[in-house]
Structure 1
């Protein structure tokens, strides 16, 4: 059942407090860059002229790559806390063989590879792509709770080469620089600069992708976690209408009430953070915030996190970018009517439960109840009762299931109720009980299974922070190839069907398609296993 729920949800999953804590404790878990085609000894130079100027990338039998291309002006000085401006044109050939810096990020993730001048994108194309080939285009938005991440953590070249698509991966501002709201910032873009960066990248693709061999009328926007949330938001942003043809949402959506903040709540958090930085006066706060060294800004942001320290960074509603809360806008029929492919992983919550277990938060009934209360204030008693049968055996598994079911699995059904009658709607559940993971497992806990973000290694079949496809078994590699074929087919046609695979039918609201090493076909017990009647009655 689709329903409304109060936005007062200070402990919502979106905060990912435990997720961020682990990532911030060890930068090597979130490497800045991954190997690229540009390091291929057989690669030769190729020059393409964009509307802003010529760029020199590389071409080899592995594909083509053009890295670090500016799609907007540096958001520095007077452009800090402002919508992205057009990039300045250039005359000389610009080197595009190196990934640009990540946007500034909180805590220990602020490294030498981070800079405010970060609005660049990477283009990956098959080796035979050229102007006039008119290939489908896929634009990738990274996850990271809208506080972390960069395009340098992913290498989509294999997906591009194998599926005959062009993949574009932009950076976007995260954390305070991307999502800070404050009375001094009222006006264009307030609280949603990160979303506007993504929108500016889509506009760049529409203007320039034909020169790389792509189609400006066949663009799939896709992302994982906060990247999927962002992708979902673009279904509603008036300024994004017509910039893409279809969407893929991996392990997140935006229909839950906790995916955005109303203006008053967002500005209250911004004021608190500004005061901690010595920018107390609303009349001078903007100049003050723009003058704060970026490292100091993010040290404050990592502690405040946007709303009294209780909320993660989130898009703001009530302004010019996102006038209404997403659920309200969807219920009013304001979402873009484009084909949707959406799904979740069978064991999403085990990643977060693992972090809790390392902190000894799930070794006792009291710790378990406090963990649930911190995550779901207002629903605690009902949730504890609903999962008592699982908690009687394992607090770890009960907590993991609560996270999986409430935030990832059941919202798939909600999104179907909102969009399933408007355009083709496909759903999946990713299921590999032995998905590779580079993180340590807490003692005396079960295997991580199909944890949150496990599918990324299968979509790209290239190393990234949490999983390395070099560890795939033959069955896992075959699953990865099936997923790539489905994503490529969806980008080409709006249907994820590919030759030789079990037919993938439009979602019936009950049985998502199984992307699994264990079974083919459909997941028959999805809604019951994830207790979606309980969660959907509460607006999830």
Structure 2
């Protein structure tokens, strides 16, 4: 790693070189230097702004460090590199570039340069998903959200998988297994300090995310000493806040030690942890990614947040039950058929799920409760065995937190302390987010994203350019609800049904074309059936 002065000089040179290119885009001054973006299509956009130093050398497997200042004007017209990852399910593109900690800002172009006398706009900070091992901010076009809601929208990249969420006995104890979350918090602090220069209100920030992005928000909520004051509201889309986390020490042994061994660093731990850490910091990124893929296998939780550190101090559902979380209004929910998507991934990978195998498929998830589950969820009630399996798990699964009863559980725990607005996204005509698996899908995990981010690019490009008219109407309603919540803390859409606060089972918003309005989601997803079977998960 270069000394600080040398790194600063290199940063200055790069900024000055880019500034030598003639440009007439809007220029904004941040606390680390000036950036030049683009204007067009009704928005101003600034892309690829560094919020942290590249996490290489001594900063690999360490908390992030604030970006160094630069001289001149830095071009901010292209997205930064995606953080290291392998391609998964054809939804993400591989990357092995560690210099990836950048953010993007999109705001409505009013024709005037944001200034101290202009009214500041609400800010939405979007955290991308990807199972903590994939994805990037570049997949989410922010312009429609910014213009439709008259808000400033921010997105960013953060370390993923083995580099961002792997715990190991040699890593710093306070942040072990949580470097990706620390990246996110550093980005949020950057936004808090700088967003006023882009016309955003630093005192009216909503943090929002889907899947791993939403689960990250759950982690930020339950670490009030680390995140208090960084955001005023939270939008959690398919986050599973009430699902159990892994404990750091156990995960370090189950995952970290095995990865270290596969890259030739396992025999260096012993009593001298510094030797193991030094070895892991020198390992090739491609070797770490390959080792992580082998160790993680099909385990969706292998590289996900752990608790028992300063980053995530305690078990998530316990923090919610005890009211030990950041007290802000929350908009929370998920997709009606969440886990049909993961059944599709299994089928696409060669799994044979049939009516004959259905009992055994259920047993792999529900163990001794399988006979009871079979009675309430017979395969004959569905169009196919894969559809049935996906629907059962979408109601409740003890294995994966992406299910509707867990979402409702989190809402019930949080509503004792803060305003909560709960929803279920249920558009049966939602665009596909994976190639046709040969069975009925419907509104699966991540199906709502094209409604928020038109032309959402998961590299499969399946959604097409436009939604069908009923779905587009729902998208417009959702955009109004979401941005209203970011503005005031209450989701309101002109001409659409009132969204009640989640105070009763029947006060969950049904986001389905032709049926938008409150309904009893607990009954729809049979949470009363699941509660006595899994009282440790469903307590409310």
Return the offset for 1:361: 3.2
Correspondent of 1:412 among 407, 412, 420: 407
- Give a deviation string over 1:322-341, Cα, whole Å, max 9, x none: 12111111122101111110
Partner of 2:67: 87
The TM-score with structure 2 as length reference comes to 0.86
**In the alignment, is the contact (CA less than 8 A) between 1:53 and 1:91 conserved in 2?**
yes
Following superposition, the deviation at residue 311 of structure 1 comes to: 4.1
1:255 corresponds in structure 2 to 242
Work out whether residues 461 and 469 of structure 1, in 8 Å CA contact, stay in contact via their aligned partners in 2: no
1:124 is the counterpart of 2:106: yes
How far off its partner does 1:421 sit?
Answer: 2.1
Tell me whether 1:298 sits opposite 2:282 in the alignment.
Answer: no
CA pair 440-118 structure 1, distance change in 2 beyond 3 A: same
Q: Indicate the SS of the match to 1:89.
A: coil
Distance change (3 Å), C-alpha of 1:71 and 1:536: farther
1:235 aligns with 2:221: yes
1:16 aligns with none
Correspondences of 1:202-213 after superposition (within 5 Å) = 202-213=188-199
Deviations 1:122-166 (A, max 9, x none): 001111271343110001011111011100111111110121111
Partner residue, 1:23: none
Q: Which residue of 2 aligns with 1:343?
A: 333
Which of these residues, 122, 132, 137, is aligned with residue 146 of structure 1?
A: 132
TM-score by length of 1: 0.86
Higher RCO structure, 1 or 2 (CA under 8 Å, sep 6+): 1
Residue 158 to residue 309, structure 1, CA distance change in 2 (3 Å): closer
* Maintained 8 Å contact 2:167/2:251: no
Describe the shift of the 1:369–1:361 C-alpha distance in structure 2 as closer, same or farther (beyond 3 A): farther
Structure 1 match to 2:445: 452
Aligned equivalent of 1:11: none
Instruction: Give me the whole-angstrom Cα distance separating, in 2, the residues matched to 1:297 and 1:81.
Output: 12
Shift of 1:260: 3.7
Asked if structure 2 preserves the Cα contact closer than 8 Å seen for 1:361 and 1:367, the reply is no
Which residue pairs with 1:520 in the alignment?
516
Instruction: Report the CA distance between 1:318 and its aligned residue.
Output: 1.1
> How many Å separate the matches in 2 of 1:97 and 1:315?
32
2:255 aligned partner: 269
Q: Please say if residues 431 and 518 of structure 1, whose CA atoms lie closer than 8 Å, have aligned partners that are also in contact.
A: no
Change over 3 Å in CA distance of 1:478–1:147 after alignment to 2: same
- 1:97 pairs with 2:45: no
Deviation for aligned residue 1:384? 4.0
Change (3 A) 1:518 1:288: same
Against the structure 1 CA distance between its residues 63 and 442, is the aligned structure 2 distance closer, same or farther, given a 3 Å change threshold?
same
Corresponding residue SS for 1:55: strand
Deviations 1:159-207 (A, max 9, x none): 1012111111010111000011111113231110011111111100000
Contact 2:236 2:331 in 1 (8 A): yes
- Equivalent-residue separation in structure 2 for 1:435 and 1:80 (angstroms): 40
SS in 2 for 1:371: helix
Aligned to 1:461: 454
Trace 1:138-537 onto structure 2 (pairs within 5 A). 138-237=124-223, 238-257=225-244, 259-280=245-266, 281-282=268-269, 283=272, 284-305=275-296, 311-359=301-349, 361-365=351-355, 367-376=357-366, 380-388=370-378, 394-406=384-396, 407-437=402-432, 439-443=434-438, 445-446=439-440, 448-465=441-458, 467-468=462-463, 470-511=465-506, 512-524=508-520, 526-537=521-532
Alpha-carbon spacing, 1:213–1:114, altered in 2? closer, same or farther (3 Å): farther
What is the CA distance between 1:505 and its match in structure 2?
Answer: 1.1
Once the two structures are TM-superposed, the CA of residue 262 in structure 1 deviates from its matched residue by 3.9
- Check whether the contact 1:362–1:395 (CA below 8 A) recurs between aligned residues: no
Separation in structure 2 between the aligned mates of residue 384 and residue 239 of structure 1, nearest angstrom: 44
TM-fit CA distance, 1:435: 1.1
Structure 1 residues 102 and 126, CA, compared in 2 at 3 Å: closer, same or farther? same
Change (3 A) 1:309 1:404: closer
Q: Give the direction of change, closer, same or farther, for the CA distance of 1:178–1:532 in structure 2 (3 Å limit).
A: same
Deviation of 1:388 (Å): 3.1
Alignment partners' CA distance in 1, 2:163 and 2:103: 18
Give the secondary-structure state (helix, strand or coil) at the position aligned to 2:99: coil
CA RMSD of superposed structures (Å):
2.3
Deviates more, 1:411-420 or 1:334-343: 411-420
1:355, 1:111 → 2: CA distance?
Answer: 17
Structure 1 unaligned regions, length at least 5: 1-42
Q: How far did residue 464 of structure 1 move?
A: 2.0
Which residue in 2 is equivalent to 1:3? none
- C-alpha contact 1:460 1:484 (8 A) present in aligned 2: no
Length, aligned pairs only: 493
Helix, strand or coil for the counterpart of 1:514?
strand
